[in-house]
Amino acid sequence: MATNNELSITRTLNAPIELVWKVWTEPEHIAKWWGPNGFTNTIYKMEVTPGGIWDFTMHSPDGTDFKNRNMYVEVVKYEKLIFDHISAPKFRFTVNFKAQGKKTLLEWKSTFESAEELKKVIEAFKADEGMKQNVDKLEQYLAAI
């Protein structure tokens, strides 16, 4: 859902919080599900600590490479990840995790510098649909492991 300068999605995942946290914070897992449908990833560095860098390239189905660099701002195990996308376009990811028995409530939002910046990202990259596909891929990955 897009509102003003934010994209957000909430989903109850059919996996325990420990596993959901693991697939968000370990490069060998996130490389397998991150990004929209058809995309693959090469992870160069992933330091999940405040000030740590997550450096990777997303490879689109047509062969285009998208270099990404993020810096973690806040990391609270099993609760929250906040990281800034410091390569263009700049925005902040806030991901909250809440245990619900053997399931996990995921609340993810991406906050952009302005409504205009968000509009550009939706028009250029279909970021709103991409976020939904990303969570769909996460669900499929969790079901497979």
Number of domains in the chain: 1
In this prediction, residue 13 carries a pLDDT of 98
Crossing angle of the two packed helices 127-144 and 17-25, in degrees rounded to 10: 120
pLDDT in tens, 51-84: 999 999 999 999 999 999 999 999 999 999 999 9
- Average pLDDT in the 92-117 region? 97
- What CATH number is associated with residue 96? 3.30.530.20
- Average pLDDT in the 20-43 region? 97
In this prediction, residue 97 carries a pLDDT of 98
Which residue in the block uniquely carries the two structure tokens 């925005």? 91
Q: Take residue 40 and report the two structure tokens written for it.
A: 């693959």
- Average pLDDT in the 11-26 region? 98
Residue 132 — pLDDT band, cuts 50, 70, 90?
very high
Percent of the chain with pLDDT over 90: 97
d(CA 129, CA 120): 14
3-state secondary structure of 42: strand
Q: Say yes or no to pLDDT of 1 above 70.
A: no
Q: Domain range for residue 132?
A: 2-144
CA-nearest of 84, 65, 59 to 74 is: 84
The per-residue DSSP string of 71-136 comes to EEEEEETTTEEEEEE-SSSPEEEEEEEEEETTEEEEEEEEEES-HHHHHHHHHHH-HHHHHHHHHH
d(CA 58, CA 67): 6
In this prediction, residue 41 carries a pLDDT of 97
CB atoms within 10 A of CB 117: 15
Lowest-pLDDT choice from 52-56, 108-112, 120-124: 120-124
In this prediction, residue 83 carries a pLDDT of 98
